Every structure is written in C-alpha cells, then in structure tokens.
Amino acid sequence: MIDLSFLSKSEVAHLDEQIGFTDIEKEIIEHLVKNDLTDDGIMLDLHLSRNKYYKIKLNAVYKMIRYAANN
C-alpha cells in the first residue's frame, strides 16, 4: 500500500488540476491520502477486481511521477 497521507487536500486538488485524474483515480487517491483503508479495503469499497484496482492505482501513481519529473 502506498501512503500518501503527507499530501494536503490543496496539493491533491492541484495535482488533479494539472494531471486530470479520472473519477476512480481520484477516489483511490483520496483513500490513500486518508490512509483509512488497505488496498483490499479500497477494492471492496469501490467494487473493483484486484487486477483492475492495481492497474488504475499504478496509472495514477505514474501520472504523479511524470508530473513531478517534468516540473
């Protein structure tokens, strides 16, 4: 599980504004920022299969890394 609890709401909003997360990516990131559920809990909460969840999560993380690398 990736812990993004160091990010503030305004930082997440800024990233979303710059990157353009999908709705499901935003929901996953919100949980990772809150650090309220495990990956399995997020999967259950969002009704996602394991493969789909990790694909979406990885894509969102890669978007953040690409944004950080370009700025």
Q: What is the pLDDT of residues 10-68, one digit of tens each?
A: 999 999 999 999 999 999 999 999 999 999 999 999 999 999 999 999 999 999 999 99
Residue 20 CA to residue 16 CA, distance in Å, equals 5
Residue 43 CA to residue 35 CA, distance in Å, equals 14
Residue 43 CA to residue 14 CA, distance in Å, equals 25
- Examine the pLDDT at 69 and tell me if it is beyond 90: yes
- Examine the pLDDT at 2 and tell me if it is beyond 90: no
- Examine the pLDDT at 1 and tell me if it is beyond 90: no
Q: Is the dihedral of CA 4, 31, 20, 14 positive or negative?
A: negative
Cβ(25)–Cβ(8) under 8 Å? no
pTM of the prediction?
A: 0.90
